[in-house]
Amino acid sequence: MTTNDHGHVNNLDRNQRDLLKAYWLALIAAIDEDSSKVVDSKFGEELFYLFAQFNPDVTLLRWLRACKWQVTPAVQFMKDTLKWRHEWGLRTLSAKGESNVMLEECTSGKAYYMGKDKANRPVSYVHASEHIRGQFPIEATERFLILFMETGRDLAESHIEEGTVVLDMGNVSLKNLDYQYIKFMIDAMQNYYPECLGVALIVNAPWSFSTVWKVIRRWLDPVVESKIHFLNDSSELVKYIDPAVIPQRLQGNHVDFKFVPSTKEDEARLTAIRKDEKGMQKAQMEHRKAAQDYLNVTLKWANTSAQNEKDYETDRTQAAKLLSDTYRQLIPYISTQTYYHRIGMIQEPMFDITYNRICNDDTELTRF
């Protein structure tokens, strides 16, 4: 789904625009009645990290649509998300990256991203037979999953909000059936990553899976369930995905997943960036300032009438761009490069720019 679809950021009717404005006002007030304190508050900080480099309206609209445009439930939904992200330590997980999950999980091939589908949505492949119940501590597997889902956000583009999941049930046996993990995965997707699923394609499901499906479908929101399709055979994936980005194990033409670990050079570069405390402080300061500026103009826009809101649109656009730019310059300090950076699926040149600046002892931050 693109942002040009009805109910998305570039295609809102008058009522939807008014509801978005009401949502901004109610959400900020719920975080702190004093808007000047929001950015530096616990949940306000989580909110702007959730926005990342994307248009904040795009994010808020996902929560609004998930709540069928009801502002009060959407506010509580976002508060629950921010609380979960804070308690789960999402920023620590992002900062440590692959080093915070077990290497065996990364290399297992149980879940990975590979290319995009015909609707230009990122495709993730999940091979249930590669997950063995109890092989690793459940907490470690949950960290792997959440890092995987966070990485999916980095693969997204500004105009593509959803992804495609291919669930391969081939060669599954009882040792692979893990209801606790499945429940965690469903809850995380539905409760903290709303409106992110475009379609889920289940392939190679054995006849016995019907019993498992009766259990799983009880945990699914009807909207999510409607996006799940069972394919008779993996050859049917070509209806949705070009064979060039379907792995060979599923009758495609792409070589099967093989994890590429970080190098000593990668680790040395990250260490140098982590030692650049002044650079990090400056990047954080500029991002916080940009966040406050964006919030100020957004609240003015949200409080104005429909006739006068255009007076703030240019300022909001400029403030959103500055917010995005300052977040990008913060990325090397708060996250790490992953397998998907190493194979070129994620392009974040700010890592190289920041490292080169440090090597050249240049104190000026670089924005796009």
Q: What is the pLDDT of residues 147-203, one digit of tens each?
A: 999 999 888 776 788 999 999 999 999 999 999 999 999 999 999 999 999 999 999
Region of residue 204 (left: phi > 0; alpha: psi -120 to 50; beta: else): left
Among 33, 63, 88, where does a domain finish?
88
109 and 16 inside one domain: no
Residue 256 within a domain: no
**237-251, 264-278, 301-315 — which is least confidently predicted?**
301-315
126 plus 74 within the same structural domain: no
Q: Residue 309 — pLDDT band, cuts 50, 70, 90?
A: confident
Tens digit of each residue's pLDDT (9 = 90 or more) over 113-139:
999 999 999 999 999 999 999 999 999
- Please report, rounded to a whole number, the percentage of residues in the chain having pLDDT higher than 70: 97
Which domain CATH number covers 66?
1.10.8
- The pLDDT > 90 percentage for the chain reads 89
- 187 and 78 part of one domain: no
Which residue blocks in 156-196 are alpha helix, DSSP H?
179-192
Residue 47, pLDDT score:
98
Look at strands 122-127 and 111-116 and give their pairing. Answer: antiparallel
**Confidence at residue 84, expressed as pLDDT on a 0 to 100 scale:** 97
Question: Is residue 209 domain-resident?
Answer: yes
**Cα distance between residue 132 and residue 202, in whole Å:** 19
Residue 2 has pLDDT above 70, yes or no: no
Do 159 and 62 have their domain in common? no
pLDDT number for residue 349:
94
- Measured CA distances, 120 to 75, 116, 343 (Å): 30, 5, 19
- Strand runs labelled E in the chain: 111-116, 122-127, 163-168, 197-203, 228-230
| Residue 10 pLDDT class (50, 70, 90 cuts) | confident
**What tens digit of pLDDT does each residue of 225-240 get?**
999 999 999 999 999 9
End residue of a domain, out of 210, 227, 250? 250
Q: What average pLDDT does range 278-297 have in this prediction?
A: 97
Backbone angles phi, psi at 128, to 5 degrees: -60, -30
Q: Are residues 288 and 359 in the same domain?
A: yes
In a domain, 255, yes or no: no
Summary mean pLDDT of the chain: 94
Residues 189 and 241 in one domain: yes
Strand-pair partners of 73: none
In a shared domain, residues 18 and 151 = no
Mean pLDDT across the stretch 248-262? Answer: 97
**Among the residues of 195-309, which ranges form H helices?**
209-216, 222-225, 264-275, 277-303
Q: Quick check: is 295 in a domain?
A: yes
The residue out of 58, 88, 118 marking a domain boundary is: 88
Q: Structural domain of residue 147, as residue ranges?
A: 98-250
Is 93 part of a structural domain of the chain?
Answer: no
24 is a domain residue: yes
Q: Is the dihedral of CA 361, 362, 363, 368 positive or negative?
A: negative
User: What pLDDT shows up at residue 161?
Assistant: 87
Q: Is residue 172 domain-resident?
A: yes
Structural domains in the chain (count): 3
Residues 221, 243: one domain?
yes
User: For residue 365, is pLDDT > 60?
Assistant: no
Could you report the per-residue pLDDT of 20-56, keeping only the tens digit for each?
A: 999 999 999 999 999 999 999 999 999 999 999 999 9
- 341 lies in some domain: yes
Q: 3-state DSSP call for residue 253? A: coil
**341 in the same domain as 265:** yes
The pLDDT value recorded for residue 265 is 95
Of residues 101 and 156, which shows the higher confidence score? Answer: 101
